[in-house]
Structure 1
Amino acid sequence: MRKTGWLLVVCVLMMGLCLAGCGSEDERVISSPVASGDLSIEDQTTSASGMRETLLYVQNENGQMVPVMKEIPWTEGIGKAALEQLVIDGPGATSLAANGLKGVIPPDTDISLSIKDGVAEAAFSKEALELDSAVAEKNFTTGVVNTLTEFPTIDEVKITVEGSEGKLPFGSDLAEAFSPMDLNVETMAQGLDVNATEKVTVFFLDQNRKVWVPVTRLVPQGSGFEGAVEEIIKGPDANSGLISPFPEGVTIKEVKLENGAATVNFSKELNEALKDEDGGIACVKALVLTSMTFGDIQQLNIQVEGKNFDALKKFDGAPTFANIID
């Protein structure tokens, strides 16, 4: 199971990106963080101040799932403490709201958690049944499961809700333990044979431009990173409320993968992004975040008509998390 899909432990932050003029233009590339093997929770993410970097799965105003890293106080019941951050009126509500986000667990819900042999049993009081839509119900299970399975000791999650009789109000079956779930799955693979496809994750900006939202799409089997870049250029679904930082008319001229290094060469229209307030940084970050979901890509170079994209000069390195909140 992919334990480090969203929580990437940084062993090497910068191997090839030269931002201050070191090296030639052709050498300026972005190196992704390298995911380490599983460590103990304390060794992995706990700072000297006693705060733990914890990845939480919450929702935005449109009901899309968003992974955010938030430092929470270390406690022996750290898994339960993480879930309490997901309660809509819980301890994380204020910082989430400041970023246009909210939790996925109904207000006033009591939580208990036990872990045995890699399976966490998360038990919720009857207030958890107060979900007002099928989307809210799906987000509840996804948020709980994906948040808990980021802990290296948890592989699956069994959810129980007092009075649920094995099913939630909109039909979610709680009989079996859950494994981590794909986020914001879209079906834009028109004309594709679903038996000859693979999943990719691409990133778009939330409508408030404060957070990055991962979207799961299908691409032709074997197209991998190139297929993912093509989906980025297609942009978000028109009804999603998400935003693409890429200018209209941008096309992909070439995608090369060699020895862990990816080079993406775009048409001249990408230079229009340099006029944006951030100078094109959002385009770089969208590509970097997507490349980081591919374990075999360690470096990324972005070009326009064969020359390095100028926004690379201002980019401060591969991010460890898609979103970080206080």
Structure 2
Amino acid sequence: MTNKPEGMRMKRLFILILTLLTALMMASCKKAEEPAEPEADTDSGYRRTTLYYATEDGFIVPVMKSIPWEEGIGRAALSYLVSGIDNDKSAAMMGLKTVIPEGTECTLRIGEGGSARVDLSGIGRQTKEQEQAIVVAIVNTLTEFPSINNVSITIDGKEKKTLFNGTDISKPMESFALNIEDGEVPVSGEAHAFTLYFPNSAASLNIPVTRYTDTAPSFSGAVQEEIAGPKDEGLINCFPAGTELISAYIKDGIACVDLTKDFEKVADTEGMLDAARDCLYLCANQFDQVYGVDITVEGKEYSMHTSAVSVPVYVNEWR
């Protein structure tokens, strides 16, 4: 039989162990609730980061760039968007332009719930188009980070309803649809958004375009819109005139697209088959995770079969 002092010691020991276990469980839960760390290549000290730039034609495009890992990686990402000798030269080699004016200082704070606040100091007066590019590039670059859900923008430490030329910054903003055709979002409840991809005029970049149609979003519908081609003359249609869609579906991670015989004329232009394949792959990934593209012509394997060819991991990659 245990005596009373020994029983008290056992009781205190049990309470101590229980307290430690509870603390460990709470720490584990807290860790699980913390935002996921950004994608990083810890071996090289670089992080693969999607940055948003402007093209000479005024499109906003995402580009994956490996940037040195550092504390405050979000602010570091924004620094690449600020105009300056090195940034401008580097962007120009890709056919891109930085969007934040030279001399602008960007301060970033991330609060609870994934709400980020960016203060732009010394930004100066810009055109309406430049303002819109700045806002979209900042918001979309930051919301690529898993710990950021929305972004507020202040100017010189003060909250503003609009920028100088009327661009709305009155409330927190989530990721924007890119390069909306016809320049505005339809108010009709029947309109559905497709993200389409077309090469730029130099065929060096994939340009995401948002198109609103009355068709409910589907991979087949997106391919139909791809074949119809871009409305902007500065973009390329990868599908030869006369090409029609027979079927399009995703099965076992492969985007399967069957086209009419006119598609075979794609071989007449060097690189166009690869461009068509990449655009189909990028389109398919908005509906399901896809690992390859299989193009057939009237049910028969196309002579330049594409399912075994590597497909792009990112819309655009820094070169």
TM over 0.5: yes
Q: Which residue of 2 aligns with 1:122?
A: 118
> SS in structure 2 opposite 1:233?
helix
Is structure 2 residue 37 aligned with structure 1 residue 40? yes
Q: Which residue of 1 aligns with 2:21?
A: none
Is structure 2 residue 283 aligned with structure 1 residue 290? yes
1:259/1:51 CA distance change after superposition, 3 Å: closer
| Superposed counterparts of 1:155-304, under 5 Å | 155-162=149-156, 165-187=160-182, 194-239=188-233, 241-257=234-250, 261-278=254-271, 280-295=273-288, 300-304=293-297
Amino acid at match of 2:37: S
| Superposed counterparts of 1:105-120, under 5 Å | 105-117=100-112, 118-120=114-116
Tell me: higher relative CO, structure 1 or 2? Use CA pairs within 8 A at least 6 residues apart.
Answer: 1
5+ residue gaps in structure 2? 1-34
Q: Give runs of ≥4 in structure 1 deviating > 6 Å.
A: none
5+ residue gaps in structure 1? 1-37
Separation in 2 of the partners of 1:188 and 1:273? 30
Separation in 2 of the partners of 1:180 and 1:173? 14
The sequence identity of aligned pairs, in percent, is 33
- Range with bigger deviation, 304-313 or 263-272: 304-313
Structure 1 vs Structure 2 CA RMSD: 2.5
Separation in 2 of the partners of 1:188 and 1:253? 31
1:114/1:164 CA distance change after superposition, 3 Å: closer
Partner deviation per Cα, 1:246-286 (whole Å, 9 max, x = no partner)? 21221112223556654221111111112322261111111
Is structure 2 residue 155 aligned with structure 1 residue 148? no
Structure number with the higher helix fraction is: 2
Separation in 2 of the partners of 1:139 and 1:188? 13
TM-score normalised over the length of structure 1: 0.79
Separation in 2 of the partners of 1:210 and 1:99? 8
Separation in 1 of the partners of 2:76 and 2:199? 28
1:195/1:106 CA distance change after superposition, 3 Å: same
1:246/1:142 CA distance change after superposition, 3 Å: same
Greater Cα radius of gyration, structure 1 or 2: 2
1:219/1:103 CA distance change after superposition, 3 Å: same
Separation in 2 of the partners of 1:144 and 1:188? 19
Separation in 1 of the partners of 2:168 and 2:183? 27
Separation in 2 of the partners of 1:84 and 1:188? 28
Q: Which residue of 1 aligns with 2:29?
A: none
Match of 1:51 among 14, 22, 46: 46
TM-score normalised over the length of structure 2: 0.81
Separation in 2 of the partners of 1:147 and 1:269? 39
Separation in 1 of the partners of 2:219 and 2:146? 27
